């Protein structure tokens, strides 16, 4: 990774990406057609420009093909999002991540070759809903239509037992891929690792299997 990103669309989603990347020391080109939005990022992004990204010549003049990763965060104009993504693909940008507004938008983006597609509003809604439904699940990340990663706080049913004693893989078909313990993270913990009462377990698996595990932890 060269550490150089371009973010097109400086609304709430795109703006948050620019802020996070910039604060972590990455070079970021921030682009929007709205002058007021661009002015907001003048002192934050490496470069901030007013541009119509549905114009191929404009993107060429910005040297967009030199950026390894371009994020298209245009939310309110689906046509502009699709056309911008298509031009980026034709110009040979290596990685294109696009914000999708709805399922139809996502379907078109996939057909024209977007590498990564995100639904920030939908995904946040799913994460909040899972948190509301379960006291066990602290965080939730959807990997696909069928698989997810969840963070679960070690309950009385899990603590003071080793991973081999719990045997979650055999019982539920899920895997503990890491354990967060205070400020440390144990990656791929050993089978004899003991679960402590304040541990956070990072578990991957099929949604149906994760649901079975969560229901067991919830039951008395």
pLDDT band, very low/low/confident/very high, at 128 (cuts 50, 70, 90): low
Q: What pLDDT does residue 210 have?
A: 85
Predicted confidence (pLDDT) per residue in 2-41, tens digit: 558 999 999 888 998 999 899 888 899 999 999 999 999 9
Cα–Cα distance measured from residue 144 to residue 150, given in angstroms and rounded to the nearest whole number: 13
Predicted confidence (pLDDT) per residue in 33-59, tens digit: 999 999 999 989 999 999 999 999 999
Contact 147, 204 (CB under 8 A): yes
Residues 6+ apart with CB under 8 A from 123: 142
User: Three-state DSSP class for 97?
Assistant: strand
Residues 6+ apart with CB under 8 A from 42: 48
Cα–Cα distance measured from residue 6 to residue 18, given in angstroms and rounded to the nearest whole number: 9
Residues 6+ apart with CB under 8 A from 213: 152, 168, 172, 174, 203, 205
What's the per-residue H, E or C state across 156-188?
CCCCCCEHHHHCHHHHHCCEEEEEEECCEEEEC
Quote the mean pLDDT of the chain.
86
Q: What's the Cα-to-Cα distance from 189 to each of 69, 162, 181, rounded to whole Å?
A: 33, 10, 12
Q: How many Å separate Cα 143 from the centre of its chain?
A: 9
Q: What pLDDT does residue 1 have?
A: 40
């Amino acid at each position: 990774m060269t550490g150089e990103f371009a973010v097109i669309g400086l609304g709430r989603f795109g703006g948050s990406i620019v802020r996070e990347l910039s604060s972590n020391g990455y070079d970021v080109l921030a682009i929007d057609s709205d002058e007021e939005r661009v002015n907001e990022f003048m002192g934050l992004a490496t470069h901030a420009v007013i541009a119509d990204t549905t114009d191929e010549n404009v993107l060429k003049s910005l040297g967009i093909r030199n950026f390894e990763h371009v994020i298209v965060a245009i939310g309110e104009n689906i046509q502009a999002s699709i056309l911008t993504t298509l031009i980026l693909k034709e110009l040979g940008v290596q990685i294109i991540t696009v914000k999708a507004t709805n399922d139809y938008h996502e379907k078109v983006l996939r057909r024209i070759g977007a590498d990564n597609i995100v639904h920030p509003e939908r995904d946040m809604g799913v994460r909040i809903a899972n948190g509301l439904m379960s006291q066990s699940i602290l965080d939730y990340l959807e990997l696909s239509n069928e698989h997810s990663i969840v963070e679960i706080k070690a309950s009385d049913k899990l603590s003071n037992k080793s991973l081999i004693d719990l045997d979650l893989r055999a019982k539920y078909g899920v895997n503990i891929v890491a354990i967060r313990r205070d400020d440390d993270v144990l990656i791929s913990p050993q089978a004899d690792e003991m679960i402590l009462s304040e541990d956070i377990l990072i578990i991957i698996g099929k949604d149906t299997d994760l649901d079975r595990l969560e229901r067991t932890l919830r039951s008395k």
